């Protein structure tokens, strides 16, 4: 008895440690959507409240983001979605853009073999065949429970009624204004000066959505909209034809699935690198007791950075569209291979990226993709990331159809060894070919614990997506933060090349950075930017849902 009494404080301590963090984000009983704009989260949540499932809500949220968040939400882009049904069935949908039929390996090179500046990033030449409408229609066909009219009507209404400009959006529109004018001329809708509190209406977009409501997928990829779109892109010097549009298909893919301690992680497979790369990172750190090192401590940062260094080196070399490149997934995801990769890691000293591979590049980070997470009242979950690539994509805006077009062609490797806009360099596996999908970093992810849904997570951020998703999961699981705290917590990033570690401005002390420098880490000294804008959901022990809506943006959780 005495022994038990003496052991009591220790037992209580253990017990406390195992208690999951109390929620600090929005908590709802049954269902939730977390996305980049309140209007979109609200439409998605209302779809579920009116009897729709998570898949219906996905269609509504994705299209509502195309209206409310034209910065990244889109009809002219593409994305990836991973789902887990309440019976445990999982799957992934690839609605990534693809290269047009006329594309070829050297299409962005001049006669001397140099990359032509801006050709894969700005204007019509940068546009890949959009996948979003095919993606949502495929989801609706396979899993939808409400009629398309029930789902699209509130979205069309929002486009007609208009969307309020937020402070952050007003700043963004201002900073992109010159580029909109350069690409579209000064009569473009976005040449206006917007201030917070203005309302922007989207009647042209509403009428394109009406065509999709009437004719489904064909309302976009065939007939009037397709003809207008192809003509517009070609008049502006681009390559997409009506044949390219007609041939576009979203593809169902097996997600990447792996165990990390007692978690089961389900994430997107190629042509996204997200799932493979976080799988490698998690497996490389699994044997270390990272929670003991402390959240964002020097040792945690070091371990994570070294794993990321090795994983991104593999990413850039091996990964591409699996329908075009042979990817040795069974080797690069095997335990033996990943243990071997970490053999030369030591806490005493940084590994040099040049010892892992070669190259010198610059990184530019940005937040121009968008992620949303959904759980419905039946326990179905969806994690989806969608993008135009750059902010407002190629900046090319079809006034007639009411949407921006992507600049996703830049995610290919235009030339081996030359970095793209995220500083990522690529190899043969990600070279350009007709109808090939460009490699992505988007990482829509679901996490199970004890066989049950535990987290839904994802983010924008180009090459920083993968590390931001991994750190958010570790924040909850290893460092016992609530979902909202985990999303808000300061983040860092490393991607093999350039051989530097990026830190967000807030939350990392000079002492921490100095101790890393002493060990040979190079710290990025330029202007620090935000890393990721994570929107996530945690399922609490009592079955309620906690939202994590990133404080870095206008992101909002809505549910009931
Ligand atoms: O697919 C990709 O990896 C990129 N096109 C994502 C772009 C992105 O996240 C932009 N925001 N930073």
> CA distances (Å), 479 to each of 17, 158, 292, 537, in order?
10, 40, 9, 17
Instruction: Kindly give, in sequence order, each residue whose CB lies less than 8 Å from that of residue 524, ignoring residues fewer than 6 positions away.
Output: 363, 500, 501, 502, 503
Q: Which residues are annotated as a binding site for L-glutamate?
A: 96, 387-389, 411, 440-441, 462
In a domain, 240, yes or no: no
List 372's β-bridge partners, or say none: 384
Chain segment 220-262, per-residue pLDDT in tens: 999 999 999 999 999 999 999 999 999 999 999 999 999 999 9
Is residue 462 within 6 Å of ligand 1 at its C-beta? Answer: yes
Which of the four pLDDT bands, split at 50, 70 and 90, describes residue 425? Answer: confident
Is residue 441 within 6 Å of ligand 1 at its C-beta? Answer: yes
Which among 61, 351, 369, 386 is annotated as catalytic?
369
Task: Supply the range of the domain harboring residue 475.
Answer: 253-365+443-559
Is residue 414 within 6 Å of ligand 1 at its C-beta? Answer: no
**Which of 387, 395, 420, 534 to probe ligand 1 with, by most ligand atoms within 8 A of CB?**
387
Q: Is the pLDDT of residue 407 over 70?
A: yes
pLDDT value, residue 528? 83
Chain segment 162-182, per-residue pLDDT in tens: 999 999 999 999 999 999 999
Indicate the range of 285-289, 317-321, 525-529 predicted with least confidence.
525-529
How many Cα atoms occupy the beta-carbon half-sphere of 424 within 13 Å?
31
Is residue 385 within 6 Å of ligand 1 at its C-beta? Answer: no
Indicate the range of 84-98, 391-405, 412-426 predicted with least confidence.
412-426
In a domain, 346, yes or no: yes
Which of the four pLDDT bands, split at 50, 70 and 90, describes residue 288? Answer: very high
In a domain, 329, yes or no: yes
Place of tokens 């909209």: 225
In a domain, 448, yes or no: yes
In a domain, 555, yes or no: yes
Please give the Cα distance from 123 to 233 (Å, whole number). Answer: 9
Instruction: Kindly give, in sequence order, each residue whose CB lies less than 8 Å from that of residue 15, ignoring residues fewer than 6 positions away.
Output: none
The DSSP call for residue 286 is T
In a domain, 82, yes or no: no
Please give the Cα distance from 415 to 244 (Å, whole number). Answer: 24
In a domain, 330, yes or no: yes
From the CA of 411, give the closest atom in ligand 1.
5
Please give the Cα distance from 55 to 469 (Å, whole number). Answer: 22
Q: Is the pLDDT of residue 100 over 90?
A: yes
Judge whether 459 counts as a catalytic residue: no
Please give the Cα distance from 477 to 40 (Å, whole number). Answer: 29
In a domain, 72, yes or no: no
pLDDT value, residue 427? 84
Q: Say if CB 531 and CB 468 are below 8 A apart.
A: yes
Please give the Cα distance from 514 to 298 (Å, whole number). Answer: 10
pLDDT value, residue 1? 47
How many domains is the chain built from?
1
| CATH code of 521's domain | 3.60.20.40
pLDDT value, residue 139? 98
């Amino acid at each position: 008895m005495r022994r038990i009494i003496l052991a009591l404080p220790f037992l209580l301590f253990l017990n406390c440690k195992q208690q999951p963090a109390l929620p600090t984000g929005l908590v709802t009983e049954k269902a939730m959507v977390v996305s980049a704009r309140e209007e979109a989260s609200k439409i998605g949540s209302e779809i579920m409240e009116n009897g729709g499932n998570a898949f219906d809500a996905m269609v509504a949220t994705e299209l509502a983001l195309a209206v409310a968040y034209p910065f990244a939400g889109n009809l002219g882009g593409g994305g990836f979605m991973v789902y887990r049904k309440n019976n445990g069935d999982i799957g992934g949908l690839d609605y990534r853009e693809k290269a047009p039929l006329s594309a070829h390996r050297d299409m962005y090179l001049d006669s001397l073999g140099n990359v032509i500046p801006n050709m894969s990033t700005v204007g019509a030449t940068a546009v890949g065949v959009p996948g979003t409408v095919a993606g949502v229609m495929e989801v609706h066909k396979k899993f939808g429970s409400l009629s398309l009219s029930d789902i699209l009507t509130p979205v069309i209404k929002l486009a007609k009624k208009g969307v309020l400009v937020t402070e952050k959006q007003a700043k963004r529109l201002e900073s992109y204004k010159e580029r909109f004018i350069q690409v579209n001329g000064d009569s473009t809708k976005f040449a206006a000066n917007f201030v917070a509190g203005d309302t922007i209406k989207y009647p042209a977009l509403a009428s394109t959505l009406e065509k999709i409501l009437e004719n489904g997928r064909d309302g976009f990829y065939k007939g009037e909209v397709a003809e207008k779109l192809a003509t517009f892109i070609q008049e502006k010097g681009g390559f997409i034809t009506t044949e390219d549009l007609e041939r576009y298909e979203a593809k169902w893919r097996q997600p990447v699935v792996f165990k990390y301690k007692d978690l089961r992680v389900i994430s997107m497979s190629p042509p996204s690198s997200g799932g493979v790369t976080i799988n490698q990172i998690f497996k490389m750190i699994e044997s270390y007791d990272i929670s003991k090192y402390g959240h964002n401590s020097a040792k945690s940062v070091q371990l994570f950075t070294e794993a990321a260094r090795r994983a991104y080196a593999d990413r850039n070399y091996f990964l591409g569209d699996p329908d075009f490149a042979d990817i040795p997934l069974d080797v690069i995801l095997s335990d033996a291979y990943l243990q071997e990769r970490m053999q030369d890691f030591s806490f005493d000293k940084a590994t040099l990226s040049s010892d892992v591979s070669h190259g010198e590049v610059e990184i530019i980070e940005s937040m121009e993709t968008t992620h949303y997470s959904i759980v419905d009242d039946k326990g179905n979950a969806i994690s989806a990331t969608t993008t135009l690539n750059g902010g407002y994509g190629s900046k090319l805006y079809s006034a007639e159809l009411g949407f921006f077009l992507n600049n996703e062609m830049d995610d290919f490797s235009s030339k081996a060894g030359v970095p793209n806009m995220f500083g990522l360099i690529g190899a043969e596996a990600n070279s350009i070919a007709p109808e090939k999908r460009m490699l992505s970093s988007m990482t829509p992810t679901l996490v199970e614990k004890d066989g049950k849904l535990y987290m839904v997570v994802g983010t924008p951020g180009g090459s920083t997506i993968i590390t931001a998703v991994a750190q958010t999961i570790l924040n909850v699981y290893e460092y016992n933060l609530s979902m909202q705290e985990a999303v808000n917590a300061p983040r860092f990033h490393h991607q093999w090349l350039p051989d530097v570690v990026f830190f967000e401005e807030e939350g990392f002390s000079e002492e921490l950075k100095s101790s890393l420098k002493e060990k040979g880490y190079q710290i990025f000294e330029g202007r620090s930017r935000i890393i990721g804008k994570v929107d996530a959901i945690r399922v609490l022990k009592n079955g309620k849902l906690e939202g994590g809506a990133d404080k870095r943006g206008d992101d909002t959780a809505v549910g009931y």
